[in-house]
Amino acid sequence: MVTLPSPRRRGFVERAIAAYCAQTYANKELVVVLDDGPVESKAAIIRHIAALDRDDIILTQAPAGSTLGALRNLSGATARGAVHCQWDDDDLHHPERVERQLTALLESSTEASALSEIMQFFPATRELYWTNWGAAAVNVVPQAIIYHADAPISYVETGDKARIGEDLELCERLAARGQLSGLPGEPQLLVYMSHGANTGSDDFHAMLARDLGLSQGLLRRREAFIREEMAVFDLGTGPVTVRGPKGAAFILDR
């Protein structure tokens, strides 16, 4: 997990660490890479991790000026596991995410696997979409990647794509070699939080919901599944509107 220490992201980081701790898969570790940021924000994250008193959370600080791609490679170089899983600091992660994605990877013949579908939540409007990335550039969600550590995989460290879109660039190279598989039908494993301070622009997030969102009809047919699986997440107080690109499907009462 790579994070930019800042007052606004502190809550995201603590939530992502809690989601890691709640994973059903036992043989795991979390590598937290701190990018350059305010001293107090860094100190707050360091104190939080120390208070957890866990030997499976490893903290490292990156050199100033590192690109996002370089930060991700640093996390991989620090990790000791045979499989690496990208763990973004501002998303919501289902307790079974690691277990189910690891199973899918091991059952595939590819170096890497990623979710083909995820949920997307807009906290400001309290709208929830089910997005299918089958029509996207690489047919999977780049940030939801898991891969074998001994595969020849690395993120780009220089240029514009090293600063934004580094995971997409990695997936494009894997797909070109036929070494990227997708896991469909498990959108609940990751909730993409479109909170307004993402790496991608607000327009980009709106486009994803509009172009990749399932229709109202499909959402209604899968209502029971959505209600059951989303119950594990804290989406805050108040009703959540489950929407398709053309309108509301139903309401989740929170």
Instruction: Give the pairing of strands 112-115 and 240-244.
Output: unpaired
From residue 137, alpha-carbon distances to 36, 117, 141, 165 in Å are 31, 13, 9, 12
Q: What is the pLDDT of residues 61-103, one digit of tens each?
A: 998 889 999 999 999 999 999 999 999 999 999 999 999 999 9
CATH architecture assigned to 2-252: Alpha-Beta Complex (3.90)
> Position of tokens 């008193």?
53
Q: What is the pLDDT of residues 5-63, one digit of tens each?
A: 888 888 999 999 999 999 999 999 999 999 988 889 999 999 999 999 999 999 999 98
* 145-148 sheet: strands from edge to edge: 83-85, 145-148, 112-115, 180-183
| Strand partners for 3 | 34
What is the average pLDDT value for the chain, to the nearest integer? 94
Backbone dihedral angles phi then psi of residue 125, each to the nearest 5 degrees: -105, -5
CA dihedral 195, 200, 203, 205 (to 10 degrees): -60
> pTM value?
0.94
The answer to whether the CB of 155 falls within 8 A of the CB of 72 is: yes
